[in-house]
Structure 1
Amino acid sequence: MPLSRRTLLLAPAALSPLLPLRPALAQSHESGLAERGAGKPDAPVTVIEYYSLTCPHCATFHRDTWPQVKKELVTPGKMRMVWRDFPLDQLALAAAQVARALPPAAYEGFVGALLSTQDRWAFNRGADNIAEIAKVAALAGMSRAQVDAAIADEGLRKAVLETRLKGEQEHKVASTPTFVFNNKPAPGALGFERFAQLVGEASGA
């Protein structure tokens, strides 16, 4: 079914009722709310990326910079990357819910596949957006029924929106992608050299 791309109105006042929901969420949502990341937990630097699955700049970073970051900084143990949802519209929110419903081991691959095929499912006017997302999810072992259930899950939806709200409040995130190096936000699709420089500064090197 085609999904509206209407921008989310996520003013803090509108979302304040969501803040106390975390303790009350069903256990089925606990895995979805768990940290999603790549790299050693004890790496000297942790970088947070706030991203939206319908953000072209996020796709640019994933395509042009992330492979080198992963090879030269994450794999050797110099940093850990943590991904946090910051959906910019209703379609991005639905896609984020599907991603969060997958097992953690499948998360990075699924997100990468969606970011690399945005033109097919996010910007193809007239396309059945959810059907296209479901095709990618199927490669990760998720049935269409499971995709629909994830999108219909109100608890999961509220949890994803809570993550976005916390990004706005704690790290002053206003656009995607935004990277946080030791609580210092750096917006935009950073190139590798600038990204590595900020990692070095965060590590004190």
Structure 2
Amino acid sequence: MIRPVLALLALAAPLVAPAASAATTRHLPTHRVQHGPVDWSHTVTLTPDGGIRMGNPAAKVKVVEFSSFTCPHCAVLAGEAFTPLTDKYVRGGQVSFELRAALRDAIDLTVALAARCVAPPRYFPAVEQIMATQQEWFPKAADYVDAHRDELNGTGKTQAIHAMLTSIGIEATLAPQGVTPAALDACLISKPAEDALQKTTNDAWNVRKINGTPGIMINDVLKPDIHSWALLETAIQAGLKG
């Protein structure tokens, strides 16, 4: 499990404000199968809690993951869990899955803001791809920060942050999902998006006091030490039987 490190560099405002403001609640467009059973994996919504949820909002089992883009354990869980969770449980409406940020550092914040540029229903596959390449882009990001610290904290920091995302391959990852350079710039300075990320981060570390990422909740109950698909599926099945 990974504990937070919240002082890598000042890419933006403090990651956790003393009283993080609530993000404006809005519903992202949903896409559903028009004939036959509903495929709930295409229903993706920005939640009032600041996360992004895939699936039936009335599902019997509601899984919430507090996650970090710079957490290696989160990347492992994403690689193991995304496909079986979606195919076996979310599509049919039994389970919903919500991702909430538990930011650990400023690189995490930057990638999280960039990922929120992706429109549904491609958000979760985009996250999966970012996590799958984490071992490639994260060291590059750390090197970039060391070499460009002044620019990243200067008056032109948005351009410098965008350049970092380009150099480490995140921009190229998001481009096929419809994220243009102009959209990426807008996302990096989006106050509602940053507020949502701060809200979930504050909730994770200071309110619910998760002991590390990934932090899993099942039906609003924190389940410590779930860091593999086998453990997560066991918890889901217990919830479905209850």
- Report the TM-score, using the length of structure 2 for normalisation: 0.68
Match of 1:175 in 2: 212
Matches within 5 A, 1:106-117: 106-117=122-133
Match of 1:134 in 2: 171
In structure 2, the CA distance between the partners of 1:195 and 1:173, relative to structure 1 (3 Å rule), is: same
| Letter paired with 2:62 | T
Match of 2:34 in 1: none
Structure 1 unaligned residues grouped into runs of 5+: 1-5
Aligned residue for 2:200, secondary structure, equals helix
Aligned residue for 1:80, secondary structure, equals strand
Residue 193 of structure 2 corresponds to residue 162 of structure 1: no
Task: Compute the displacement of 1:42 (Å).
Answer: 2.1
| Letter paired with 1:50 | F
- Contact 1:110–1:140 (8 Å) recurs in 2: yes
Aligned residue for 2:143, secondary structure, equals coil
Residue 50 of structure 2 corresponds to residue 34 of structure 1: no
Match of 1:15 in 2: 17
- Contact 1:46–1:81 (8 Å) recurs in 2: yes
- Report the TM-score, using the length of structure 1 for normalisation: 0.79
Partner Cα distance (1:159, 1:51) in 2? 14
Task: Compute the displacement of 1:140 (Å).
Answer: 0.7
Task: Compute the displacement of 1:169 (Å).
Answer: 4.2
- Contact 2:215–2:222 (8 Å) recurs in 1: yes
Match of 1:3 in 2: none
Structure 2 unaligned residues grouped into runs of 5+: 8-15, 29-44, 145-162
Deviations 1:126-157 (A, max 9, x none): 35641121111111111122212211234422
In structure 2, the CA distance between the partners of 1:120 and 1:144, relative to structure 1 (3 Å rule), is: farther
Residue 191 of structure 2 corresponds to residue 193 of structure 1: no
Task: Compute the displacement of 1:64 (Å).
Answer: 1.7
Deviations 1:115-135 (A, max 9, x none): 011122212353564112111
Say how many residue pairs are matched.
190
In structure 2, the CA distance between the partners of 1:195 and 1:18, relative to structure 1 (3 Å rule), is: closer
Partner Cα distance (1:120, 1:31) in 2? 33
Partner Cα distance (2:191, 2:175) in 1? 22
Higher helix share: 1
Q: Which has the larger radius of gyration?
A: 2
